[in-house]
Amino acid sequence: MSKVKVTAFSISLDGFGAGPNQSREYGLGEGGEELHEWMFPTKMFQQMMGKEDGTEGTDNEFAEKSLENIGAWIMGRNMFGPIRGPWPDDEWKGWWGEQPPYHVPVFVLTHYEREPITMKGGTTFHFVADGIESAMEKAKKVANGKDISIGGGVSTIRQFLEAGLIDEMHIAISPLFLGSGEHLLSGIDLPKLGFTDTQVTHGEKATHIISKKK
């Protein structure tokens, strides 16, 4: 059965999913890139970067699972890029180069319409200007029964959580404090939303939390 999931989303020990002062230089905010230090050395990530080496183990297993059975992604505009306001042109095509790692349709939430962008490797970015429900409807149509991944950033995940649209979350807790930035779960009552089935696994560089609705 198709699920709506958050996969491999990294947060700090104090709960921040991005650091302060996000910009083109600091796409995840100051210090935010360190949240993903657990993933960078894994075999999955290294192969995604076109390299042959990489570490195996628990962290790699969770990294690999994060891409399994995904038929569509939804992300916020901040995750797609640092540009704010109306799109000035069609030059910006995301952080990932000509061949993004998604390989399926990706729906980008925005307040400003833009024509779809077809990239190498099967990724097409579609821009959705009429809300999260519309993005979900479009993603389900193209996912063909596979899962839909809510890719972030923090505010996007929070919107889908508060709307009751997420079935399962994989949160990777990295061993650092950010002190400030975007907090993932502040003010959100997960048990009330139905997240009562939780499993904890300790990896090499992160602690992995899988929480599901019963």
29-39 pLDDT, tens digit each: 899 999 999 99
Q: Is the pLDDT of residue 1 over 80?
A: no
**What does the alpha-carbon distance between residue 18 and residue 151 come to, in Å, rounded to a whole number?**
13
Which helix (H) or strand (E) is 135 found in, with range?
Answer: helix 132-143
* Residue 119, in any domain of the structure: yes
Domain total of the chain: 1
* Residue 91, in any domain of the structure: no
Identify the bridge partners of residue 147 per DSSP, sorted by sequence position.
70
CATH number at 125 reads 3.40.430.10
Structural domain containing residue 62: 4-16+26-83+97-213
Q: Are 2 and 145 in contact (CB under 8 A)?
A: yes
* Residue 101, in any domain of the structure: yes
Kindly report the pTM of this predicted structure: 0.93
141-188 pLDDT, tens digit each: 999 999 999 998 999 999 999 999 999 999 999 999 999 999 999 999
* Residue 90, in any domain of the structure: no
61-114 pLDDT, tens digit each: 999 999 999 999 999 998 998 888 999 998 999 988 899 999 999 999 999 999
* Residue 92, in any domain of the structure: no
Identify the bridge partners of residue 170 per DSSP, sorted by sequence position.
210
Return all residues near 97 (Cβ < 8 A) that are at least 6 apart.
none
* Residue 8, in any domain of the structure: yes
The residue with greater pLDDT, 23 or 30, is 30
* Residue 21, in any domain of the structure: no
Mean pLDDT within 44-62: 92
Which helix (H) or strand (E) is 168 found in, with range?
Answer: strand 168-173
Hunting for tokens 């779960």 — which residue is that? 185
Lowest mean pLDDT among 46-60, 125-139, 178-192, 200-214: 46-60
R_g (Cα) of the chain, nearest Å: 16
